[in-house]
């Protein structure tokens, strides 16, 4: 089942900015970068784990189980999302304690899957810092629709494949002719024109099955 990737603010309700920071991060919304309160990597890891903890069932002051332990539903906010198997941002199986515990039924939505990816990169960053290595973390970038701009100007260069394709369609491609053409330049120009004509003949005979003498 094809599902359109998240565009910036497209079709997704933005979280309420009056909510506490943790509740904003756990609510549904567009893909965004996690804003940490701490500058230390290990404390940042604790913060993002709190965001990705599965939402629990509530009754008065009692909490238990997982509220959104449903197939194709985000275990954090309950948003329905069906991942494509080949999607590189598809998260792993959610665990009761994010990085440990028992696997639960469900998944992460696109917003929390991006956060899950950021958590993985943060773990790699901490490991790199402890080993004295340099590592750049994952920064989520919402996909933007590609806009067709068309040709912005006249063609000034043609590849060999372009010439062959145009010649097969019946176009005559001639190299630019200088005012003072040398014999070498003339030979090159004539060879190019001859090759273009031969490719057109091949297309007429082999592709279009034109027979000589029918007309």
Please tell me the distance from the alpha carbon of residue 134 to that of residue 199, in angstroms, as a whole number.
55
3-state secondary structure of 85: coil
| pLDDT for the residue numbered 150 | 54
What lies within 8 Å, CB to CB, of 8 at 6+ separation is 30, 142, 144
**Radius of gyration, alpha carbons of the chain:** 30
Q: How many CA atoms lie within 13 A of 141 on its CB side?
A: 6
| pLDDT for the residue numbered 16 | 64
Sequence spans of domains, the chain: 21-131, 160-207
Position 102 pLDDT exceeds 80? yes
pLDDT tens digits, residue range 16-60?
667 888 888 899 888 888 888 888 888 999 999 999 999 988 888
pLDDT tens digits, residue range 112-158?
999 999 898 888 888 888 888 877 766 666 555 555 455 556 666 77
DSSP, res 62:
E
| pLDDT for the residue numbered 166 | 72
Percentage of the chain beyond pLDDT 70 is: 73
Mean pLDDT lowest among 19-23, 40-44, 96-100, 211-215: 211-215
pTM of the model: 0.56
Q: Are 76 and 55 spatial neighbours (Cβ–Cβ below 8 Å)?
A: yes
Please tell me the distance from the alpha carbon of residue 72 to that of residue 83, in angstroms, as a whole number.
8
Between helix 160-168 and helix 183-202 the angle, nearest 10°, is: 50
What lies within 8 Å, CB to CB, of 169 at 6+ separation is 203
Give the pLDDT band of residue 76 (cuts 50, 70, 90). very high
CB atoms within 10 A of CB 23: 12
């Amino acid at each position: 089942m094809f599902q359109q990737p998240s565009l910036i603010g497209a079709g997704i309700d933005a979280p309420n900015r009056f909510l506490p920071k943790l509740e904003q991060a756990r609510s549904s919304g567009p893909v965004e970068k996690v804003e940490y309160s701490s500058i230390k990597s290990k404390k940042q890891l604790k913060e993002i784990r709190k965001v990705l903890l599965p939402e629990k069932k509530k009754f008065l002051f009692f909490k238990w189980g997982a509220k959104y332990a449903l197939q194709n539903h985000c275990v954090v906010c309950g948003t329905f999302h069906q991942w494509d198997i080949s999607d590189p941002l598809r998260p792993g199986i959610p665990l009761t304690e994010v990085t440990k515990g028992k696997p639960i039924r469900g998944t992460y939505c696109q917003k929390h899957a991006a956060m899950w990816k950021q958590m993985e990169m943060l773990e790699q960053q901490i490991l790199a810092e402890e080993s004295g290595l340099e590592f750049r973390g994952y920064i989520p970038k919402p996909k933007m629709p590609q806009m067709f701009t068309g040709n912005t100007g006249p063609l000034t260069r043609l590849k060999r494949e372009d010439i062959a394709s145009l010649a097969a369609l019946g176009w005559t491609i001639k190299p630019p002719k200088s005012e003072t053409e040398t014999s070498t330049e003339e030979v090159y120009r004539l060879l190019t024109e001859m090759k273009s004509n031969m490719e057109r003949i091949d297309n007429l005979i082999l592709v279009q099955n034109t027979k000589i003498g029918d007309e």
